[in-house]
Each structure stands twice: as C-alpha cells, then as structure tokens.
Amino acid sequence: MSVATAVHGNYIGGEWRDGAETYRSVNPSNTSDVVGEYTRGDRDDAKKAIEAARAASPAWSRSNLQQRFDLLDRIGSEILSRAQELGTLLSREEGKTLPEGVGEATRAGHIFKFFAGEVLRLSGELVPSMRPGIGVEITREPAGVAALITPWNFPLAIPAWKIAPALAYGNCVVFKPAELVPACAWALSEIIVRNLAEIYGASAAGAFNLVMGSGSRVGDALVTSAGVDALSFTGSVAVGKSLAVKAADRFLRIQLEMGGKNPLIVLDDADLDVAVNCAVQGAYYSTGQRCTASSRLIVTQEIHDRFVAAMIEKMKTLVVDDALKPGTHIGPVVDERQLAQDVSYLEIAESEGARRAHGGERVACGTEGYYLSPVLWTETTPEMRINREEIFGPAAAVIRVKDYDDAIAIANDTEFGLCAGICTTSLRNAARFKRDSETGMVMVNLPTAGVDYHVPFGGRKGSSYGPREQGSYAREFYSIVKTAYILP
C-alpha cells in the first residue's frame, strides 16, 4: 500500500488513487494557510468504488467477528491516542476552536469503540410459531453497500458515526465527505484502511472506500447507482430532499439528517445564569454551525429584559479569533460562501424590523479569516425569515412570549423538529415540555447542542427522514431483518 504525500488521493478497492483534478483545502482562520492538496474524484471514481465495495461485500458481511471487533477497537484507540493532532487538524481546516476540535476527535474515537462493542452484541430472536412444531427465527443481515455522504461541520464525528456502525453491522462503505474538509476525511480514512489492511490483509480490499469530490458528481453517482444498497446523508434540506426523490425512484434504503431551527424556551422561573449559559453555548459555540444550534430564544415576558441584558453582558466576553489560539471562544465562519449567507441574514433581519441588540460585525484579527461576531436580535416575531430559515451561523433571535402555552406553540411552529430546549426550575413545566415538544431530542436546563454518542440522535418533521443514527438504534438502518420459519 502506498500513501501519496503531496496530493492526497482517494482510496478505492484497496489502493490510494489520484484523480484527474486536485484542489486545496484552506484554513478559514488564515486563508494564506493551505492545509493540503486533495484529489477531486468524479463519477467514474464513485462507480469504481461501488464496484469494489460490491465485490468485497459477500466476504465482509461474513467476516470474522473477533477481527471486526479488533478493527473498530484499534481504530478507536488510534484516534484517541492522536486526538490532539487530529483535533488540531480539524480546527485548522473547519474553524471550530481547538478544545472543540480535540473534543470532536475524542468523540470520534469513542464512537468506534462503542461500535466495536456492538459487533459482539449482534443477536436475533427465536420465537414459537402459531403452528405447533415450527420455529421462527428473527435475524439481522447487513444492508450491503452503504454510501455515506457527510457535511463539513463535524468532519470527524459525523463520518465516524456513519462509518463505524456501517462496518460493525457488516456493510461495505463508500465514504463521500464534504469538499470543504478533505484533510479530516483523508486522515480518518488513512487510519481506517491501514488498520483494515493490517488485520485482514488483501482479503478486505474494497470493504472501505474514500471518494472525495463534489456532491453533484460523486454524490449524485452514489444515489443513482444500482450498486448502492443504503445511503446515509447529513447536510442541507434541499440536497436531502433531492436525494429522497432519487432514492424513491429505485426504493433505495435512505437515512437523512438535515437542518434545524431549534428553539430554547426560557421561562420566568428559569435560573438566569443557567439560561444564559445554555443560550450562549447552544447558539454561538462552534460558530453556530451545528444543526442542533439554538437559533430561536423564546422568552417569557417577566424574565425577558433581564435575560437580554445578561446575554449581552456575556456576549461581550466572547473572544472571536483564530480557532487554534488559546482563549478563543468563537472561531471563524467556515468559508466565504457561508459568511456571505450569514451577512445576508443581517440585512434580512434589518429589513424585517428586528433589532440588532448585539454583534453581527466583521472582526479583524491578526490573519485574514472569515470572522464574524455572534449576533443577537431582539423584538423579533415568529414569521420573520430569521426565525424560519436555518442560517447556520453565530446568530440567534429572541421572541418575547406571554407564557408556557405561547412558548411551546411557537417552538413547534416550524418545519423542523430536531432538538428543543427549556430552561425552567419547575418540574411540571419540564415534564410538559418533554411531552409537548415535536422534536426528536429535548433538553431541560441544557444547551440544545451537545449530545452523547451512545444514544439515538435524530429529529422529526423536516429535520430527519428514516431511522435514527447512533447508539444501538443505528442498526435499524445498517441491518435488515429476516424472519425464518423452520420445520425441523
């Protein structure tokens, strides 16, 4: 096996391969810093990867379980032992702060460890039939070839939480990362394929493939190729919807995680410090570039003014700077296109009559980067576009409401349903909220962003489609149930 040094290639059928084109990944904190040069694959590369995965599938689906456990466990251990290095690469390439980057790398390691354990927990059921003497066995089989299309905002954790269960439950993988983060994808893939080759030798060539390239070429080839059995995607609603339509055309098994417009309700009986911490962390950390970010702060009237004042005080302490600098709270926006989108919403908010209470300014740091200070809007209404559309930046809007009933009605009045939070000291209000929220995840006195890796992740309505990701629930997507009737 040879590893390209200058240009980082794709990994297809057990080999590193350069494609026809290359491009550079750039550090959003410092645009003169080139992270590396990467191959941009095309449709043909995607097709070859699918063929390689298909060829490997029969053997991989029945591969030795001890070895499969060892593989995922070793990948997890290596990621954990290199978390500082991988986290630094992540922060340099994607722009979240170094503690966030190292935290994400660590989480990716833990995810592989968890799914190593899942290999040993594969099980079925044996039940008696209605008909005497007949036995019924319910077992799970791998879905087959899994295509995994991932976004840029969690460039290690999201690939990990798709790749690890795909391999654990016996699927072969074609991994297509987002174009903005090839360095993270390549580094993760290098760890996977080196350990794969060390444990299985050439016999598992094709079990894992990396195809970097654009969504319109590589991504589209994955959803339209008959050789793919299951497709898991995390990204925008528009692309998710187009994939679902194409998938339906050939009954492709599909799982989509898309946007959010997550509400955080702050009730009069909330602990103010808790509420401000939840709102600041949930809305602005990771530069607000999380599908679970709190973008609508729904606040009841008695606490409203105190909450806004405390938010502004807290926001004044946030340091916006180079992601790798110690002490930075908020790194840059990921790229120019995303920055332009964030800035366009500043104009939209103004034209709709929202008050910019704090932030929303381009920040000059020591290097050229896409820096924007977190913005808080007040005096906003639920119909405003800033309260309906996902901005995916460091931006949140306060909506003033009368009481809990008003708050929950507005919280649920959205096409999304990923996560919702409430800050309250009332057990009754917390219990009502857990029941009333039309989302896949609810948080009480916690930020909407920040979830564990061993429990299900996902939403309702326009946020998610298909079975849940993560934890043992991941097997619903990556395995298929078979019911066998046996007359001995």
Least distance from ligand ADP to the Cβ atom of residue 385, Å: 18
Residue type, 22: T
Q: Which is nearer to ligand ADP, 140 or 253 (CB)?
A: 253
What is the Rg, in whole angstroms, of the alpha carbon atoms belonging to the chain? 23
Annotation marks residue 291 as catalytic:
yes
Q: Segment contacting ligand ADP (CB under 6 A): 15-23, 233-241, 418-426, 460-468?
A: 233-241
If we measure between CA atoms, which residue out of 173, 193, 160 comes closest to residue 86? 160
- List the strands of the sheet with 125-128, edge to edge: 125-128, 135-142, 479-486
Query: Where are the alpha helices (H) located in 30-97, listed in sequence order?
Result: 43-61, 65-81, 83-94
Interaction of residue 301 with ligand ADP, rule CB under 6 A: no
Smallest gap from residue 338 Cβ to ligand ADP (A): 8
Span of 97-105, 121-129, 231-239, 275-283 interacting with ligand ADP by CB under 6 A: 231-239
Which of 51, 179, 268, 321 is the binder for ligand ADP (CB under 6 A)? Answer: 179
What are the phi and psi torsion angles at 423 (to 5°)?
A: -115, 115
Nearer to ligand ADP, 218 or 308 (CB): 218
Q: Which is nearer to ligand ADP, 95 or 219 (CB)?
A: 219
Nearer to ligand ADP, 226 or 487 (CB): 226
Enter the tokens of residue 351.
């034209």
68's tokens: 């499969």
Question: Which stretch, 43-51, 119-127, 172-180, 342-350, contacts ligand ADP (CB under 6 A)?
Answer: 172-180
d(CA 323, CA 101): 9
Question: In the block, which residue shows the tokens 């006195």?
Answer: 445
Among 178, 207, 349, 419, binds ligand ADP (CB under 6 A): 178
- In the block, tokens 């793919």 appear at 228
Binding status of residue 151 toward ligand ADP by CB under 6 A:
yes
Instruction: List the alpha helices (DSSP H) in 254-378.
Output: 272-284, 301-316, 336-352
Can you tell me the distance from the alpha carbon of 262 to that of 387, in angstroms, rounded to the nearest whole number? 10
Q: Which of 79, 108, 149, 442 binds ligand ADP (CB under 6 A)?
A: 149
User: Of 237 and 318, which has the nearer Cβ to ligand ADP?
Assistant: 237
Q: Residue 481 — left, alpha, or beta (φ > 0 → left; ψ -120 to 50 → alpha)?
A: beta
**Cβ proximity to ligand ADP, 243 vs 315, nearer residue:** 243
Choose the binding region for ligand ADP from 56-64, 127-135, 171-179, 471-479 (rule: CB under 6 A): 171-179
Check residue 255 for interaction with ligand ADP (CB under 6 A): no
Catalytic residue among 172, 184, 278, 291: 291
Q: 46-67 as b/e, with b when 16 or more CB fall inside 10 Å? A: bbbbbbbbbbbbeebbebeeee
Only one of the segments 234-242, 272-280, 413-421, 458-466 lies at the binding site for ligand ADP (rule: CB under 6 A); that segment is: 234-242
Could you give the CA distance from residue 385 to residue 265 in angstroms, rounded to a whole number? 19
Q: Measured in whole angstroms, how far is the alpha carbon of residue 346 from the centre of its chain?
A: 26
Residue 482 parent element (H or E): strand 479-486
Near ligand ADP in 206-225, by CB under 6 A: 214-216, 219-220, 223
**Torsion, CA 95, CA 97, CA 99, CA 104, rounded to 10:** -30
236 lies in the site for ligand ADP, by CB under 6 A: yes
Residue with tokens 């798709």: 162
CB of 48 to ligand ADP, least distance (A): 17
**Contact between residue 371 and residue 323 where contact means Cβ atoms under 8 Å apart:** no
Q: Give me the least distance between CB of 233 and ligand ADP, in Å please.
A: 6
Is 152 a binding residue for ligand ADP by CB under 6 A? The answer is: yes
235 near ligand ADP, rule: CB under 6 A: yes
Tokens of 425: 């000291």
Closest to ligand ADP by CB, 219 vs 458, is: 219
Nearer of residues 223 and 376 to ligand ADP, judged by Cβ = 223
Q: Which stretch binds ligand ADP (CB under 6 A): 137-145, 150-158, 280-288, 364-372?
A: 150-158
Cβ closer to ligand ADP: 53 or 398? 53
Q: Judged by CB under 6 A, does residue 19 bind ligand ADP?
A: no
Contact region for ligand ADP (CB under 6 A) — 100-108, 122-130, 235-243, 314-322? 235-243
Q: Is 259 in the site for ligand ADP (CB under 6 A)?
A: no
Q: How far apart are CA 461 and CA 36, in angstroms?
A: 39
Closest contact distance (angstroms) between CB of 240 and ligand ADP is 7
C-alpha closest to that of 279 among 297, 267, 299, 291 = 297
Q: How far is the CB of 201 from ligand ADP (least distance, A)?
A: 31
Spatial distance between the Cα atoms of 248 and 265, rounded to a whole number of angstroms: 37
Q: d(Cα 26, Cα 32) in Å, to the nearest integer?
A: 7
Instruction: Say how many residues touch ligand ADP, by CB under 6 A.
Output: 18
Q: What are phi and psi of 353, to 5 degrees?
A: 95, 10
To ligand ADP, the closest distance from the beta carbon of 350 in angstroms equals 24
Find the helix or strand (DSSP H, E) in which 264 lies.
Answer: strand 262-266
In the set 94, 100, 118, 257, the catalytic residue is 257
Q: Length of the chain, please?
A: 488
* 239 contacts ligand ADP (rule: CB under 6 A): yes
Which positions are catalytic?
257, 291
In the complex, the residues that contact ligand ADP under the rule CB under 6 A are 149-152, 176, 178-179, 214-216, 219-220, 223, 235-236, 239, 242-243
